[in-house]
């Protein structure tokens, strides 16, 4: 940094560099004050912003895109928690912060992160202390955002601790691919320590120009050192600046400098800052740089509105054997794919999950099976799960006698849900209740807010006052309060034949018989001799004709068209009445009918008879506070047997008129009790 500041004391129109993200903010600030562009092909810190440093131009891809690619890989394989090990400087911290944000967008997270001091003097003992803690964690997905010196020390210690075997996933940022590209082949002992590791590399498309350049480079250097992606970006950066200077001069730009009064006032200091001067036409040169649009070795060199290179993309590499194997690509355009980004750019954008693909990976431990990504941690805190110790309806939840284990439908649902989670949830069940009566579920829920339990599992109804203090899962049993009452048999006596129709129905039916008889007589008596005679005889004829149609036994013939039409409609109605009456009477005489005087909660509340409820249920509070039923009428019942006994006794013999309880318990109760039913 000091050397850069000394260099700025000369007449500077642009600087290519620095190669370190940590130095870049200071140099960028000075460059912005002196108004000359600072082009960096290696400062990938995602927080280096053109808003803060207007003369800073990044000619490579930001780590923001690299961390997006890492987050997409993690999400693609269904992992939810990762461990991040990073260099503890601005570059490392900002990179991991970007990774955390991108993981959060995909509902993943960094469960543990640890920084390593950035200098190369870090000892293996310090790294071992870090990795021992990592080995105790539940996550087995490790992301390394380091430099090559510290990174290979971490792999060496991890290999010694057996952490490069089956079950682990190691994802290294592009520092590893730079080493593999620049120094390949690495010693076999080094390669053995990084088998199965995934790493990323800034994508540069294949082209004839790129292949010709590599050939020229190898002729000049003899193949050592080899070129990596940042070498190509450095080459393109030089051409970018050269083309921009050419455009600058063609536009009449002039190399001239002026002094800054703020700097001149510091003359005589040991730093000799007064030698620095402002590049007068720096804004014009910066404009030409940002308007550049040509194809280099790394692909199109063109900047978007955020002053970032367009079309960011990365190669995804799997370390295998003595070399590497590319398993796919990531691009900001289409995400993960096995097709090169240049091909995808010609197609419509598609980020659907079905299109996110990678080739198979050889994971650490030389396995093709995707690692689960987590284990039960050795130092994990067990979740304290409260479970009601019921004495009735044990089919829902109950404690196995003599053990700390529980069984029942609710426990089965909880266990099945936990087994579907993509990460470990260690827990222990804690019994709540004395085992002699059903505990209060309201008190059980309050234990969560008091900190005694982390969660509660059981047949706990979702009611308003409980939702104000805790969160519930989606219900997995139909709920609601219902009324259970005793049924009495309806006896059929000598007058049972009148029961199919109500009194009103009988009156209406009889009235229609008379009306139809009168209507037919009116239409027939003028032309039909059978409907003539003395008044008494005509009345008898009307009555006989109308009622005989019930049995289709009428003897009088109808001669008028209207009379026949009325009679036809009426006979059809009579047929329906006969059929309905016959069916109802048959049912009354052959099927046993049960009834209850209670028709609903209103009729039950309007009486003064006692009402039963399940011990520990919220029904007591609901009946007393919401329906204003006196607590003296409420009777606590502790078991299905108590339900049946109280209902059979009835309110006159020390029992109850009805029981109000939750539907799941009632359905279980009625499955073995046939003399009771839900009413209202």
pLDDT, tens only, 389-411: 988 888 999 998 888 899 999 99
Spatial distance between the Cα atoms of 451 and 502, rounded to a whole number of angstroms? 63
**Percent of the chain residues topping a pLDDT of 90:** 50
Residue predicted with more confidence, 559 or 656: 656
Q: Look at the block and give the residue holding tokens 């890989």.
A: 73
The per-residue pLDDT for 273 is 61
DSSP element (H, E) containing 235:
helix 229-250
What contacts 575, CB < 8 A, 6 or more positions away?
none
For the chain, the distance separating the N- and C-terminal CA atoms, rounded to the nearest angstrom, is 84
For 273, list phi and psi in degrees, rounded to 5.
-70, -20
Two structure tokens written together for 269: 């200091």
Edge-to-edge order in the sheet of strand 658-662: 634-637, 611-614, 658-662, 481-486, 676-679
Cis amide leading into 276 (omega within 30): no
Q: Does this model's pTM top 0.85?
A: no
Q: Dihedral of the CA atoms 508, 512, 514, 519 (nearest 10)?
A: 150
577-590 confidence digits (pLDDT tens): 888 878 887 776 66
- Parallel, antiparallel, or unpaired: how do β-strands 38-40 and 56-58 relate? parallel
The per-residue pLDDT for 556 is 67
109-120 confidence digits (pLDDT tens): 999 999 998 877
Region class of 311: left (phi > 0), else alpha (psi between -120 and 50), else beta: left
DSSP-derived 3-state class of residue 661: strand
- 489 CB-side CA count, 13 A: 9
Band (pLDDT 50/70/90 cuts) for residue 76 is: very high
Sequence-ordered strand ranges (E) for 422-525: 427-432, 455-456, 481-486, 488-489
For 226, list phi and psi in degrees, rounded to 5.
-85, 160
Question: DSSP code of 39?
Answer: E
Q: How many residues does the chain have?
A: 680
User: Which candidate, 482, 474, 485, places its Cα nearest to that of 663?
Assistant: 482
339-368 confidence digits (pLDDT tens): 999 999 999 998 888 899 999 999 999 999
Spatial distance between the Cα atoms of 658 and 676, rounded to a whole number of angstroms? 10
Spatial distance between the Cα atoms of 446 and 141, rounded to a whole number of angstroms? 37
DSSP-derived 3-state class of residue 612: strand
- Is residue 644 within 8 A of residue 392, CB to CB? The reply is no
Two structure tokens written together for 57: 């131009």
Two structure tokens written together for 448: 């969560």
**C-alpha separations of 279 from 18, 55, 535 in Å:** 19, 12, 131
Domains of the chain and any CATH numbers: 1-60+227-308 (3.40.50.2300), 63-207+311-355 (3.40.50.2300), 383-477 (3.40.190.10), 496-590 (1.10.287.70), 594-679 (3.40.190)
DSSP-derived 3-state class of residue 106: coil
Spatial distance between the Cα atoms of 165 and 628, rounded to a whole number of angstroms? 67
Span 311-329, mean pLDDT?
A: 95
Spatial distance between the Cα atoms of 44 and 24, rounded to a whole number of angstroms? 10
Please classify residue 322 by burial: count the beta carbons closer than 10 Å to its beta carbon, then call 0-12 exposed, 13-18 middle and 19+ buried: exposed
The per-residue pLDDT for 570 is 74
Spatial distance between the Cα atoms of 72 and 602, rounded to a whole number of angstroms? 59
User: Which candidate, 34, 42, 43, places its Cα nearest to that of 14?
Assistant: 34
Whether the per-residue pLDDT at 129 is higher than 90: the answer is: yes
Q: How far is CA 445 from the centre of its chain?
A: 25
**C-alpha separations of 575 from 258, 570, 581 in Å:** 114, 9, 10
498-523 confidence digits (pLDDT tens): 667 777 887 887 787 788 778 877 77
Spatial distance between the Cα atoms of 530 and 368, rounded to a whole number of angstroms? 102
Band (pLDDT 50/70/90 cuts) for residue 269 is: low
The per-residue pLDDT for 605 is 85
Spatial distance between the Cα atoms of 410 and 563, rounded to a whole number of angstroms? 71
Please classify residue 436 by burial: count the beta carbons closer than 10 Å to its beta carbon, then call 0-12 exposed, 13-18 middle and 19+ buried: exposed
- Parallel, antiparallel, or unpaired: how do β-strands 169-172 and 257-258 relate? unpaired
Spatial distance between the Cα atoms of 578 and 307, rounded to a whole number of angstroms? 90
Spatial distance between the Cα atoms of 297 and 216, rounded to a whole number of angstroms? 13
User: Which candidate, 466, 581, 568, places its Cα nearest to that of 520?
Assistant: 568
User: Which candidate, 309, 102, 303, 307, places its Cα nearest to that of 203?
Assistant: 309
């Amino acid at each position: 940094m000091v050397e850069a500041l000394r260099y700025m004391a000369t007449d500077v129109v642009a600087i290519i560099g620095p190669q370190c993200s940590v130095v870049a903010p200071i140099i960028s600030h000075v460059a912005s004050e002196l108004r000359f562009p600072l082009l960096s092909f290696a400062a990938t810190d995602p927080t280096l912003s053109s808003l803060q440093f207007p003369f800073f131009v990044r000619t490579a891809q930001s780590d923001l895109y690299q961390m997006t690619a890492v987050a997409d890989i993690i999400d693609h394989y269904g992992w939810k928690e990762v461990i991040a090990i990073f260099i503890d400087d601005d570059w490392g911290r900002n990179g991991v912060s970007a990774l955390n944000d991108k993981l959060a967008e995909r509902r993943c997270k960094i469960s543990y992160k640890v920084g390593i001091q950035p200098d190369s003097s870090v000892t293996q003992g310090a790294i071992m202390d870090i990795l021992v803690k990592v080995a105790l964690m539940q996550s087995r997905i490790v992301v390394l955002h380091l430099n090559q010196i510290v990174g290979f020390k971490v792999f060496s210690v991890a290999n010694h601790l057996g952490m490069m075997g089956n079950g682990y996933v190691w994802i290294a940022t592009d520092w590893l691919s730079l080493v593999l590209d620049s120094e390949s082949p690495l010693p076999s002992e080094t390669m053995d320590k990084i088998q199965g590791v995934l790493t990323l590399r800034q994508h540069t498309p294949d082209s004839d120009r790129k292949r010709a350049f590599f050939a020229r480079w190898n002729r000049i250097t003899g193949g050592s050192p080899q070129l990596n992606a940042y070498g190509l970006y450095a080459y393109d950066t030089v051409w970018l600046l050269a083309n921009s200077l050419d455009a600058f001069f063609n536009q009449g730009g002039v190399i001239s400098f002026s002094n800054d009064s703020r700097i001149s006032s510091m003359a005589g200091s040991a730093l000799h800052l007064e030698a620095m001067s402002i590049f007068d036409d720096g804004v014009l040169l910066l404009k030409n740089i940002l308007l550049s649009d040509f194809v280099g070795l790394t692909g199109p060199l063109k900047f978007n509105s955020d002053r970032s290179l367009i079309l960011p993309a990365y190669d995804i590499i799997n370390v295998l054997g003595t070399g590497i194997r590319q398993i796919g690509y990531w691009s900001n355009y289409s995400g993960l794919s096995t097709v090169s980004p240049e091909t995808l750019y010609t197609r419509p954008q598609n980020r659907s999950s079905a299109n996110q693909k990678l080739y198979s990976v050889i994971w650490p431990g030389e396995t093709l099976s995707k690692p689960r990504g987590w284990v039960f941690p050795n130092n994990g805190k067990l979740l304290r799960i409260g479970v009601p110790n019921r004495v009735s309806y044990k089919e829902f939840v109950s404690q196995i006698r003599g053990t700390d284990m529980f069984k029942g439908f609710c426990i089965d649902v909880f266990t099945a849900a936990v087994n579907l989670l993509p990460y470990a949830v260690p827990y222990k069940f804690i019994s709540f209740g004395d085992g002699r009566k059903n505990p209060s579920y309201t008190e059980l829920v309050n234990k969560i807010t008091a900190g005694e339990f982390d969660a509660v599992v059981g047949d706990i109804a979702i009611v308003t006052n409980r939702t104000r203090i805790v969160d519930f899962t989606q219900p997995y049993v139909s709920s609601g309060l219902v009324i259970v009452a005793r049924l009495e048999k309806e006896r059929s006596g000598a007058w049972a034949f009148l029961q199919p129709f109500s009194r009103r129905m009988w009156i209406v039916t009889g009235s229609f018989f008379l009306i139809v008889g009168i209507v037919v007589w009116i239409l027939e008596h003028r032309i039909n001799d059978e409907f003539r005679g003395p008044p008494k005889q005509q009345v008898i004829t009307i009555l006989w004709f109308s009622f005989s149609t019930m049995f289709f036994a009428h003897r009088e013939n109808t001669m008028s068209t209207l009379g026949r039409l009325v009679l036809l409609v009426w006979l059809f109605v009579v047929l329906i009445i006969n059929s309905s009456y016959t069916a109802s009477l048959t049912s009354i005489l052959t099927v046993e009918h049960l009834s209850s005087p209670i028709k609903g909660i209103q009729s039950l509340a309007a009486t003064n008879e006692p009402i039963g409820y399940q011990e520990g249920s919220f029904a007591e509070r609901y009946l007393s506070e919401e329906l204003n039923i006196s607590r003296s009428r409420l009777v606590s019942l502790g078991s299905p047997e108590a339900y049946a006994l109280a209902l059979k006794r009835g309110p006159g013999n020390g029992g109850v008129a009805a029981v109000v309880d939750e539907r799941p318990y009632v359905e279980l109760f009625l499955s073995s009790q046939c003399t009771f039913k839900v009413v209202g």
